[in-house]
Structure 1
Amino acid sequence: MSAPIPFPDPSEVRRIRDDAEALTVAHELAAEFAPLAARRDRERILPWEELNRFSASGLGGITVPREFGGAEVSYATLAQVFVILCEADASLGQIPQNQYGVLGVLRELGDPAQKARFYGEVLAGRRFGNAGPERKSAEARTIFQGATRLSSTSGGLRLNGRRFYSTGALFAHRIPTRATDDEGRAVQVWVPRDAPGLSIVDDWDSFGQRTTASGQVRFDDVPVSPQDVLPVWQLADRPGLYGPGSQIIQASIDQGIAQAALADAQRFVRERTRPWPDSGLQHAHDDPYLIADVGRLQVDLHAAHEVLLEAGRVLDEVAALPRISAEDSARASIAVAEAKVLTTRIALEASEKLFELAGSSATRATHNLDRHWRNARVHTLHDPVRWKAHLIGNYLLNGTLPTRHSWN
Structure 2
Amino acid sequence: MTVQPKHPVGSGEPVPPVERPEGKAYIIKDDAEAIAIAHDLAAQFRPGASERDRERIWPKDELDAFSQSGLWSINVPKAYGGPEVSYVTLSRVIAIISEADPSLGQLPQNHLGIVAAIRTVSDEEQKRQLFAEVLAGTRLGNAISEFGSKRAVDFETKFTDAGDHVVVNGRKFYATGALLAHRVPIVALDDQGRAWYAIADRGAPGLTVIDDWSSFGQRTTLSGTVILDNVKVPKTHLVPGYKGYDRPTADSAIFQIMQAAIDLGIARAAIADTIDFVKTKSRAWVDSGIDRASQDPYTIQAVGELSVRANAAEAVLDLAGHAVDRAVAEPNEQTVAKAQIAVMGAKILTTEIAIQAATKLFELAGTRSTLAEHNLDRHWRNARTHTLHDPVRWKYAIVGNYYLNGVNPPLHAWS
Which TM-score band (shorter chain)? over 0.9
Any residues of structure 2 matched to 1:165-184 within 5 Å, and which? 165-184=174-193
- Determine what percentage of the aligned residue pairs are the same residue: 50
Alignment match, 2:19: 6
CA drift at 1:314: 1.3
**RMSD of the TM alignment (CA)?**
1.3
* CA distance, structure 2, for counterparts of residue 145 and residue 97 of structure 1: 21
Alignment match, 1:101: 113
Alignment match, 1:403: 410
Which of 331, 343, 346 is the aligned partner of 2:353?
Answer: 346
Alignment match, 1:251: 260
Alignment match, 1:56: 68
* CA distance, structure 2, for counterparts of residue 49 and residue 195 of structure 1: 23
CA drift at 1:152: 2.6
Does structure 2 conserve the Cα–Cα contact (< 8 Å) formed by 1:152 and 1:182? Answer: no
- Using the size of structure 2 for normalisation, the TM-score is 0.95
Counterpart amino acid of 2:272? A
Indicate the SS of the match to 1:175: strand
Indicate the SS of the match to 1:382: coil
Indicate the SS of the match to 1:237: coil
Does structure 1 conserve the Cα–Cα contact (< 8 Å) formed by 2:270 and 2:358? Answer: yes
Does structure 2 conserve the Cα–Cα contact (< 8 Å) formed by 1:2 and 1:195? Answer: no
The change in CA–CA distance for 1:156 and 1:274 in structure 2 (over 3 A counts) is closer
Does structure 2 conserve the Cα–Cα contact (< 8 Å) formed by 1:9 and 1:124? Answer: no
- Residues 89-122 of structure 1, C-alpha deviations (whole Å, 9 max, x = no match): 0111111111101111111011111111111111
Alignment match, 2:135: 123
Instruction: Report runs of 4+ in structure 1 exceeding 6 Å deviation.
Output: none
Does structure 2 conserve the Cα–Cα contact (< 8 Å) formed by 1:8 and 1:124? Answer: no
Alignment match, 1:209: 218
CA drift at 1:184: 2.2
* CA distance, structure 1, for counterparts of residue 27 and residue 213 of structure 2: 33
* CA distance, structure 1, for counterparts of residue 145 and residue 255 of structure 2: 15
Does structure 1 conserve the Cα–Cα contact (< 8 Å) formed by 2:17 and 2:180? Answer: no
Alignment match, 1:376: 383
Indicate the SS of the match to 2:171: strand
Alignment match, 1:66: 78
Indicate the SS of the match to 1:67: helix
Does structure 2 conserve the Cα–Cα contact (< 8 Å) formed by 1:132 and 1:167? Answer: no
* Residue 301 (structure 2) pairs with residue 292 (structure 1): yes
Counterpart amino acid of 2:129? R
Counterpart amino acid of 1:114? Q
Alignment match, 1:20: 32
Does structure 1 conserve the Cα–Cα contact (< 8 Å) formed by 2:15 and 2:211? Answer: no
Which of 387, 392, 400 is the aligned partner of 2:394?
Answer: 387
CA drift at 1:195: 1.1
Does structure 2 conserve the Cα–Cα contact (< 8 Å) formed by 1:8 and 1:126? Answer: no
Counterpart amino acid of 1:72? E
CA drift at 1:234: 2.2
- Residues 225-247 of structure 1, C-alpha deviations (whole Å, 9 max, x = no match): 12211222222322111100110
CA drift at 1:362: 0.2
* Residue 371 (structure 2) pairs with residue 364 (structure 1): yes
* CA distance, structure 2, for counterparts of residue 250 and residue 125 of structure 1: 22
Any residues of structure 2 matched to 1:86-97 within 5 Å, and which? 86-97=98-109
* CA distance, structure 2, for counterparts of residue 2 and residue 113 of structure 1: 33
CA drift at 1:56: 1.9
* CA distance, structure 2, for counterparts of residue 221 and residue 318 of structure 1: 38
Counterpart amino acid of 2:347? K
Indicate the SS of the match to 1:210: coil
* CA distance, structure 1, for counterparts of residue 394 and residue 360 of structure 2: 25
Alignment match, 2:6: none
* CA distance, structure 2, for counterparts of residue 10 and residue 394 of structure 1: 50
- Using the size of structure 1 for normalisation, the TM-score is 0.96
Higher alpha-carbon deviation: 214-223 or 153-162:
153-162
CA drift at 1:282: 0.6
Counterpart amino acid of 1:336? V
- Unaligned 5+ runs, structure 2: 1-13
* CA distance, structure 2, for counterparts of residue 178 and residue 14 of structure 1: 29
- Identify, as 1 or 2, the structure richer in helix: 1
* Residue 251 (structure 2) pairs with residue 242 (structure 1): yes
Does structure 1 conserve the Cα–Cα contact (< 8 Å) formed by 2:118 and 2:127? Answer: yes
- Unaligned 5+ runs, structure 1: none
